[in-house]
Amino acid sequence: MSNDAQTNPAEAPLTFDNERARARFLDDLRAVVGDEHLLVSSDLRASYETDWTRRWTGSSIAVARPANTQEVSAVLATCQRHHIACVAQGGRTGLVGGSVPSGNQLVLTVERLNDIGAVDFDSGELTVGAGTTLGALQRALSQHGWEFGVDLASRDSATIGGMIATNAGGAHVVQHGQMREQVVALEVVLADGTVMGGASDVAKDNAGYDLSALMVGSEGTLGVITSARLRLVPHYRHRVLSLVGVDTLTTGLELLGHVRRSTHAVAAAEFFDHAAMQLVEQYLAMTRPVRPSPWYVLIECASDTDPTEAMAAGLTGTPGVDDDAVAVALDSPGRQILWSFRESITEAIAQIGVAHKLDVGVAPRLLDQFAHEVRTAVHSSFAHSSVLLFGHLAEGNVHVNVINVPPTDATVDDLVLRLVGSMGGTIAAEHGVGRAKRDWLHLARSPAELHVMRALKSALDPENLLNPDVLFA
């Protein structure tokens, strides 16, 4: 853990009046989850008090590991009785500090809620526990001819509950949408322990507000998701992937447009800059199969009929895209190699330091302008910094990673997020707001939207006990 990692925000956490109150709280929790699943000592708590980024760390009273919905409900009711805040936690792969406790709070991990139900072949749906990792779900589905529509490089740790709570996106949004589009129904435990919703076999239900949708992207502030009914997507028989070096992201978008005009099967459209490519080449000890270019674009097509010809027709129609700029993979090992250049960027960055990670979005047509302005602005304020840009091309979603700026110095975050705001973009395209961006939420949400968000929060969690340090400043 870096000494520079950010700890508790300034506001005072809820505190116990005395040690006896603390002991009573822990005794009540022990009665719910059992001694083995209440982690109190600092060494047992440690791994639950920091996250993947190493930028965020904190401390907690204890970590509760409930086994089922009833125990989650009893844990939250106990927190409410003792007026103690609770941070829901999945795989701790979030990149905005949302799952890290800050002081006298309880961590509630859903890691034991990991049952995977049977695939319903008639509806193409299944129900899973919120603590199921994406990787475990993918392995379970691989035998059944179905896939899950969202895929992330953090698949072996990220949980379905965490992915819903952050409305995760990933590489296949262009074909299947974000987590929001995969959710049929949720079971959620509210701040006072009330269990709401649950799996239902009713195919259409429009009786009033869509309360499951409200929980998507709520980052643990409105309730704890315990299980999810998910929509599945077909496993396509054919998949083809191209890595293309381009001079500008505008050319990358033209390329994507050409491929889209020749086939509806585009399954992914990603981009990364040359600095990211060089870092990954070092990290993987591999050499890129295309000539050096300012930008690289990955386009994948997937369908039941072979999309190779349509992909080739799209690629050849774009000016400036010649043979030595293009590598195509038709088989699974070849695709894995090409994907590794994109998927390893986040891990490669983590090897060289604690980065400022700013997941933002602009209109795709503004990508080149944004890239130019963000590099110029960061370098002029932080001469020794390195800026790496990568992300999801079709959605204009850029992961701005800045290295060699102390993790505690939020000036760089301010600079990048204000630039995005001035271009009419969003400060949070897919990772959420968490602690990292709560001070800038007003750049992406109007006063009317903020008012409604706060009203919802206080209606569902009047004592502000659920993840009180995220989302709102």
Ligand X SMILES: Cc1cc2nc3c(=O)[nH]c(=O)nc-3n(C[C@H](O)[C@H](O)[C@H](O)COP(=O)(O)OP(=O)(O)OC[C@H]3O[C@@H](n4cnc5c(N)ncnc54)[C@H](O)[C@@H]3O)c2cc1C
Site residues, ligand X (CB under 6 A): 51-52, 87-95, 98-99, 110, 130, 152-154, 157-159, 161-163, 165-166, 168-170, 219-220, 224-225, 346-347, 430-431, 434, 467, 470
User: H/E element holding 71?
Assistant: helix 69-82
- Please tell me the chain's helix, strand, coil percentages from 3-state DSSP, rounded to the nearest 5: 35, 20, 40
Compute the half-sphere exposure of residue 244: CA atoms within 13 Å on the CB side of its CA: 31
Total residues found in the chain within this entry: 473
CB 235 → ligand X: shortest distance, Å? 20
**Residue 203: exposed, middle, or buried by beta-carbon count in 10 A (0-12, 13-18, 19+)?**
exposed
CB of 262 to ligand X, least distance (A): 26
Q: 107 vs 255, which CB is nearer to ligand X?
A: 107
Nearer Cβ to ligand X (170/314): 170
What's the CA gap between 195 and 188, in Å, rounded?
A: 6
Nearer to ligand X, 99 or 263 (CB): 99
Q: How far is the CB of 345 from ligand X (least distance, A)?
A: 8
The distance of closest approach from Cβ of residue 382 to ligand X in the complex, given in angstroms and rounded to an integer, is 24
> Among residues 219 and 273, whose Cβ is nearest to ligand X?
219
DSSP one-letter code for 247: S
Using the 8-state DSSP alphabet, how is residue 48 labeled?
G
21 vs 195, beta carbon nearer ligand X: 195
Nearer to ligand X, 216 or 328 (CB): 216
Residues 6 or more apart in contact with residue 263 via CB below 8 angstroms: 301, 303, 307, 310, 311, 314
C-alpha–C-alpha distance, residues 85 and 370, integer Å: 39
- E-strand ranges in 50-103 read 62-64, 85-89
**Residue linked to tokens 């259409």:** 204
For residue 159, the minimal CB distance to ligand X (Å) is: 4
CB nearer ligand X, residue 60 or residue 166: 166
321 or 403: whose CB is closer to ligand X? 403
Half-sphere exposure of 428 (CA within 13 A, CB side): 26
Closest distance to ligand X from the beta carbon of 241 (Å):
16
Residue 318: CB minimum distance to ligand X, A: 26
How is residue 128 written in tokens? 């899973």
Q: Would you give the DSSP letter of residue 389?
A: E
- Taking the complex as a whole, the smallest distance from the CB of residue 378 to ligand X amounts, in Å, to 22
Give residue 322's identity as a one-letter amino acid code.
D
Measure the N-to-C terminal CA separation of the chain; round to a whole number of Å: 26
Instruction: Name the residue with the smallest CB distance to ligand X.
Output: 162
Shortest distance, CB of residue 270 to ligand X, whole angstroms? 9
Nearer to ligand X, 125 or 219 (CB): 219
Task: State which residue, 87 or 301, has the beta carbon closest to ligand X.
Answer: 87
- What is the helix (H) or strand (E) element at residue 397, kind and residue range? strand 397-403
CB of 182 to ligand X, least distance (A): 12
* CA distance linking residue 42 with residue 20, whole number of Å: 19
For the bound state, the minimum distance from the C-beta of residue 18 to ligand X, rounded and expressed in Å, comes to 28
CB closer to ligand X, 102 vs 263: 102
- Nearest approach in angstroms of CB 309 to ligand X is 29
The label of the residue with tokens 């435990």 reads: 189
